[in-house]
Structures are given as structure tokens and as C-alpha cells.
Amino acid sequence: MSNQNDFPCGIAIPQVFIDEPIDIRLVESFSIKAEELGYHSLWVQEKIIGSIDTLEPVNLLTYVAAFTSEIKLGTAVLIGTTRNPILLAKELATLDHLSAGRLILGYSLGGSPRNYHMLGGPSSRRVKHFTESLDVIKQLWGSDSPSYKGIYWDFENLPFHPKPVQQPRPPIWFGGRHPDALKRAVRHGDGWMGAGSTATSQFANHVKIIKNEIDVRRLASSQFTISKRVYVAIDDDEERAVNRLRRWFEGNYGNSNMATDVSVWGSTEKVIEGLQKVVDAGAQMLMLNPVFDHMWHLSMLREEVIPQLRRI
């Protein structure tokens, strides 16, 4: 079980299956055990188009909500420009009810727009489309008579029920790494999660921009959460760990070299050291993402690693 003084850590649900068939029993046992061990949250990512087996995130979280009861459930991240915000608001409000108010919405403009048109995304004015979609969701969730007038959506007194369980709405965390996206996160959201595809040094630079914008807007630190996805592999045989990471990164990102640029791997001590650097760079929560030996990592991280992380 967790110690309430431990550094808050979420963990990624097994969702991407590269070398093995989709294992729904693993998803279930992993999620149940994560809650028993006291993890802060369970997380999914979005990859609609791709050559490897990746489960759709909203459906997956809805499934997980059925056999968990307390652990928070987060998306990191949904690509806002590829989803109809009215339908998405309905799906997520339903998920918030099915999970008794445990949803964290991770939302982002997205960084690979070449395929987004096939999912209904705009070919121009992407930022405007994204911010309008976000405003539509907030209006539907928060207003008794939702009304909105924009370029892409225009409605007045649109009936929308049920509202989410969480009031005034579920927390909205942003992704993104461009300076404009980081500032937008502070303006429009409740938190930000650094991408797993960024190194700790890049994350540190992004945090500086985030914190400066928090200061400019005179927000209390408690009003905005800074977090990061970290790909992690515990293995005393570092060469074996790297080879397995490279295989996964080649399948998921199409870039095996990224594995050593952004992951934390090696012995338990080395993993603790690497994660502590992320915390020292400004993370207030970590979302740990093992990509193999999921059940073993789930326990090892909770029992041997997380208790050693020091808050700054």
C-alpha cells in the first residue's frame, strides 16, 4: 500500500502491444493491482492510426472504470482537433459518471497533423479550432444553458445532460511543448503533462516557461499541476533493457534511437536517480510508463523506487 507522504505517481495502463497479442486480462489485473498498491492514477495515450495494436483510450478507460473504484483515470492526451467536442463531452461526462468522478482529461492540439484530416481535423487555423473545441466542452459541462458562437461551432441553449460528476468540471491538463502551447496550457487548463518523447533537459526548459506564465497570471502553485510521462525500465542488464526499449520505441514512435534519449533505465538505483532528476526539474507528479514486464514493474516501482523519491 502507498504511504501518503510518497511522491505522487501515476502509471500507464498496458495499451500498446508490439510483440504480443492484445492481453485484456493483463489490462484488468494491472489496473486492479495499481489501485491496491496506491498509485495516484492510471493513464492512457491516443494513437488512432498506426501499424501496431493500440487500444482506443476512452473505451479503454471506460472498461477500467468498471473494476476500479478510487484510482484516478487520465488521458495523456486526446487530440482535440480530431474529435467532435460535443460527442467527446458526452463520452467523457459518461465516463466521469461510470467512474464516480475520477476523470482527468488530458487534451492537446497534437503534433502530427498530416493524418488529422482523415479524422475530421482542420487543414488550417488549427489552434483556433482547438481552442474553440475546448471552450465548447467547458460550456457544455459547466452551463445550465450552453451557448457558443464561434467559427466552427455555433449554438444557443443547447440541451446537454448529464453534466460530469466533478464540479465545476473534471480537471483539464494539456500536452504540448511549443512555447505557445505551454502558455496556452496555463491560460486554459488546470495542469500540463510533459511528453514521454522529451528528455529531462527539455522538460526542465518547458517547466521554466510554464512557471513564468503562472507568475505572470499570478496563479497559486496549487492551481496548476506540472507532470511528466517517463518511460522507465528496471534491469541490471542495461544492454538488455536498452534493446527492449529500442524495439518498443521503433514500433510506437518509428524511432528506436529515441529510447536512449528520453527513457530512464538500468538498476533500481539508477532509475531512482533518473526519476529524481525529473522531480528536481519541476515535476509535481510523475506518470511512469513501463513498456515490458508490466506486472513486475508495477510492483517494483511502487515498492522500491517511489518511496525513495524526494519532493523539492
C-alpha cell belonging to residue 197:
518523447
Please indicate, yes or no, if residue 13 is contained in any of the structural domains: yes
| Least confident span in 3-7, 92-96, 145-149, 253-257 | 3-7
| Sequence-distant contacts of 237-241: CB under 8 A, at least 24 apart | 238/265, 238/266, 238/267, 241/265, 241/266
CATH number, residue 254? 3.20.20.30
- pLDDT tens digits for 248-266? 999 999 999 999 999 999 9
Please indicate, yes or no, if residue 237 is contained in any of the structural domains: yes
Domain count of the fold of the chain = 1
Residue in the structure block whose three cell numbers are 536517480: 273
- pLDDT tens digits for 186-243? 999 999 999 999 999 999 999 999 999 999 999 887 899 999 999 999 999 999 999 9
Please indicate, yes or no, if residue 141 is contained in any of the structural domains: yes
Confidence of residue 44 (pLDDT cuts 50, 70, 90): very high
Please indicate, yes or no, if residue 4 is contained in any of the structural domains: no
Better pLDDT: 169 or 222: 169
Please indicate, yes or no, if residue 244 is contained in any of the structural domains: yes
310/87 Cα distance (integer angstroms): 41
Please indicate, yes or no, if residue 3 is contained in any of the structural domains: no
C-alpha cell belonging to residue 166:
466533478
Closest C-alpha to 58, from 72, 73, 70, 37: 73
Domain limits for position 254: 9-308
Please indicate, yes or no, if residue 2 is contained in any of the structural domains: no
Q: What is the DSSP secondary structure assignment for residue 60, as one 8-state letter?
A: H
Please indicate, yes or no, if residue 1 is contained in any of the structural domains: no
